[in-house]
Amino acid sequence: FGRRVRPVVAPLTAVDFLAPALPGGDFAAVVFTSANGVDAAARLGQALPRDAWCVGPGTAAAARAAGFR
């Protein structure tokens, strides 16, 4: 970046798992963008569709390990 631009690295330092109210309806699948999202979904303790669309192989592996397909 040279001397004019200094990048700032600010990684996520902690995951805060929330318990939102889920929308009603009959959904065919869930979408996960990270392994943390898969973990958060599992912590909800609610019935979710077993089919999952995942961003990246790591997220897909976490979803499979949690019982999603």
Residue 2: pLDDT over 80? no
Residues paired with 53 in a beta bridge: 31
Which is higher by pLDDT, 6 or 66?
Answer: 66
Q: How confident is the model at residue 11 (pLDDT cuts 50, 70, 90)?
A: confident
The tens digit of pLDDT for each residue in 18-28 reads: 888 888 889 99
Q: What value does the mean pLDDT take over residues 4-27?
A: 84
Q: Read off the pLDDT of residues 23-69 as tens digits, 9 standing for 90 and up.
A: 888 999 999 999 999 999 999 988 999 999 999 999 999 999 999 99
Q: How many CB atoms lie within 10 A of CB 52?
A: 22
